[in-house]
Each structure stands twice: as C-alpha cells, then as structure tokens.
Amino acid sequence: MASSRSLNGGSLPFSSQRLLALAQQLSHYKPPPCSLDDGEEQERIIEKTVGKVVSQVGVQESVTPIAQNPENFKPKRAAVLICLFEGDAGDLRVILTKRSSRLTTHSGEVSLPGGKAEEGDKDDIETATREAKEEIGLDPSLVNIVTVLEPFLSKHLLRVVPVIGILTDKKAFKPTPNPAEVDEVFDAPLEIFIKDKNRTEEEREWMGEKYLLHFFEYETEKEKRKYIIWGLTAGVLIRAASLVYQQPPAFLEQNPKFKFPKIVDRNTVMR
C-alpha cells in the first residue's frame, strides 16, 4: 500500500495509486502572490462606495456590519478544509456540510468544514482540521494534508484559506455533526465544479466591474436530497477542482478584479 507524508506532520497510507499521485501533484502547488497579504499595494476605494465588502470570488449579497470608525484593513483569519476521498465509483468526492438553521449567519447554506482561527492555532492547517473535528467529528489523524491554496476574502472580512486534505479510508470516518453548527454532512463529486451541467449564474456589478456568482445544484444519489452550492464555497471549489483536474472550468468564471480596501468603514460596500 502506497504512503506519503502530510504537511501537518503525520503519515498515512494511501488506498490507491491514484490518491498517491494526486497527493504528489498537489504537494508541488505554490499559491500565487495575493493582495490580501500585501497591504502596501492595497488602494483606498472608500470615496464612491456604499454598504458592503466585495469578495475575491463574488460571495453572496448581504449586509455586513462595519465599524463606525475606519481602521487599517487587516482581515481576521479563517480556514476551510477541502477533504477529498475516492468514492465507490472511483470518482473524487469532497465532504460538505449544510449549516445549522439556527446559526445567525449563512444558516441552512452549504459550506466546507472550517471556521475562524483561534489564538492557539499554529497555522491555517490546524484551524481547518480543528474546526472540521468540532463541526463533523473528522479526526485530523485520518487526513493527509497535501496543500494550501491562496486566501479568499469573505463578505464578513475574513481571510479564508482553503486547505486540501485527502481522506484515505472513508470507512474510518463516521460523521458526527455538531447540532449547534451543522444540520447535515454529505459529499459531492469534485468534478461538478468545473462542469457546466446543473450550474446557473447571476451577473453582479460593483464600481463598474461585472462579475459572475455561480450556483451549482446537486442531488444525492441515495437520499435524493437537493443542495445548492454557491458563493464563497462555490468559488473555492471551482479553484480546487481546476487545480486537481489541471484544467479550467467549462464556463466563464469571471471573478471580481477589485483592489481590496486598505481602510474599512460603514461606507465600504459590495452589491
């Protein structure tokens, strides 16, 4: 049985040569420079804007509370886990959650396991795996972390870093969703996020720049439950699928190309 060492220091056997090859491929990925990490190049764009903060990938529209007094824009950190595994049909699948309907933000929406960084987290990998364990009972020792993607900016001013890991033994994972955070745990084929099937889009505009918001409809095979995956989660999965399959999506992605604000106040907006 093939094996490899994960970025978080553990070592797990891979159940197939395909997963080992994927881990080796992704381990060589180096994220491009990101403006979220370079405050000196960010420009002030406050004067002619009103309301919310725009995402690098076009997150869903909603009012974002902004501090009354402007301050230097230093987004808080968060991380999500893109946990891949090989399905019974040999396809690559990703673990997703339906957020609790009792949550105050994004209630009932589909998301990746993850959340805000805590003071004791040493890096984004620890944030993503800790949150996955807390939300759905995924033991970090079951996951080989293979790479970390470039950060995305959420509407809540979070610097969200996607962490890709491989679950080599799906049977060892028994989902135990935390009812305070998660209503359901399910999985979907990763490939759907670069295909045009069951996808719709909405064009949005902000400060004269047009971008597309993508919506993917997915129905589970056994339970016949339908889910809509969109916003930041969809954007992250489009990026991950493009990287895994080494090809661009079969549709126009058209991400926003805005400069991130150096100063954030109540007049900073997205629409």
Q: Is there a domain that residue 1 lies in?
A: no
pLDDT at 33: 74
Q: What are phi and psi of 137, to 5 degrees?
A: 75, 25
pLDDT at 186: 96
Q: Is there a domain that residue 60 lies in?
A: no
Other Cβ atoms closer than 10 A to 3: 12
**Residue scoring higher pLDDT (169 or 103):** 169
Q: What are phi and psi of 161, to 5 degrees?
A: -105, 120
pLDDT tens per residue across span 86-120: 999 999 999 999 988 776 666 689 999 999 999 99
**CATH code of the domain covering residue 232:** 3.90.79.10
Q: Is there a domain that residue 170 lies in?
A: yes
pLDDT tens per residue across span 229-240: 999 999 999 999
Of the spans 66-80, 123-137, 208-222, which averages the highest pLDDT? Answer: 123-137
Domain range for 110? 17-27+74-245
Q: Is there a domain that residue 258 lies in?
A: no
DSSP the chain: --EEE-TTS-EEE-SSHHHHHHHHHHHT--PPP-GGG-GGG-B---TT--S----TT-PPP------SS-EE--PEEEEEEEEEEE-TTS-EEEEEEEE-TT-SSSTT-EE-SEEE--TT--SHHHHHHHHHHHHH---GGGEEEEEEPPPEE-TTSEEEEEEEEEES-GGG------TTTEEEEEEEEGGGGGS-TTEEEEEEEETTEEEEEEEEEEE-TTT--EEEEEHHHHHHHHHHHHHHHTS--SS------PPPBSEE-TT----
Of the spans 23-37, 174-188, 255-269, which averages the highest pLDDT? Answer: 174-188
Q: Is there a domain that residue 64 lies in?
A: no
Q: Is pLDDT above 60 for 157?
A: yes
What amino acid occupies position 20?
L
pLDDT tens per residue across span 25-83: 999 998 887 655 544 333 333 233 333 333 334 332 222 333 344 455 567 899 999 99
Q: Is pLDDT above 80 for 18?
A: yes
Which residues share a beta bridge with 163? 81, 148
pLDDT band at residue 263 under the 50/70/90 scheme: low
Q: Is there a domain that residue 66 lies in?
A: no
Q: Is there a domain that residue 41 lies in?
A: no
pLDDT at 239: 97
Domain count within the chain:
1
pLDDT band at residue 139 under the 50/70/90 scheme: very high
pLDDT at 204: 85
Q: Is there a domain that residue 198 lies in?
A: yes
